[in-house]
Amino acid sequence: MGFSTKDYSQLTFSSIYSHTDVFADPLGVSMVSLGPDAMDRIVLESMYNFSSFMTMPQAANWMLLADTVLNGGQNASLLHLNFAARNILSPQVGQPEDLPSSGTASDRWVAGNARLDFTDVEGMAFDMEGRRVLTWRAGATLDASALPAGIYAIQRADGSTFRLYVRP
């Protein structure tokens, strides 16, 4: 699972593999909320429709269709929001991303010896391969040295998710 801060609308592509991190970002962020099994099923179902020279927006729309087929579209808003965050898809009027969400937190950067300030609610940290590397209970006292330097997806029991960047 990789994270990107790139904006799809600003990219120039030089090869088929250019900027794959832009497409992987919404998949990884969605996986934190949906779980790896559900996300894998959506990705695999959508791949039946993939073709040569397909654009990222086309692939994202196939993901939305796959969710409709598999789950009745119950994850469509989340998937759409995460693809819209990279401008792969445009936000749609009337969809939840038009409203501020109390369940999201912004990305955080910490040094390896800093105390983690989000452990007031129980949660989990996932590495870039989607493996759970840390679990804590509400009120736990943890510092960033519990995690090696890197990027982690944080999912808390209150529904908030964000990226945690741990630097040495």
Helices (H), 73-131: 76-84
Residues 56 and 28 in one domain: yes
Residues 18 and 82 in one domain: yes
- 125-133 contacts at long range (C-beta below 8 A, 24 or more positions apart): 125/152, 125/153, 125/154, 125/164, 126/1, 126/32, 126/152, 126/153, 126/154, 126/155, 127/1, 127/152, 128/1, 128/2, 128/3, 128/28, 128/152, 129/1, 130/1, 130/28, 130/31, 130/36
| Residue pLDDT, tens place only, 109-167 | 788 778 888 889 998 888 766 778 899 999 998 888 888 888 788 888 887 777 788 87
**pLDDT for 137:** 93
Domain boundary among 59, 78, 98: 98
Residues 130 and 83 in one domain: no
pLDDT band at 37 (very low <50, low <70, confident <90, very high): very high
More confident residue, 168 or 135: 135
Residues 92 and 113 in one domain: no
**pLDDT for 97:** 38
The reported pTM is 0.52
Domain limits at 79? 8-98
| Residue pLDDT, tens place only, 78-115 | 898 888 887 888 865 444 433 334 444 466 778 877 88
For the chain, the domain total comes to 2
Residues 19 and 42 in one domain: yes
Angle between helices 20-34 and 36-46 (to 10 degrees): 130
Residue 55 in domain: yes
Dihedral angle at the C-alpha atoms of 90, 160, 21, 4, nearest 10 degrees?
A: 90
Domain boundary among 66, 98, 130: 98
Residues 78 and 142 in one domain: no
Angle between helices 20-34 and 76-84 (to 10 degrees): 150
Rounded mean pLDDT of 33-46? 92
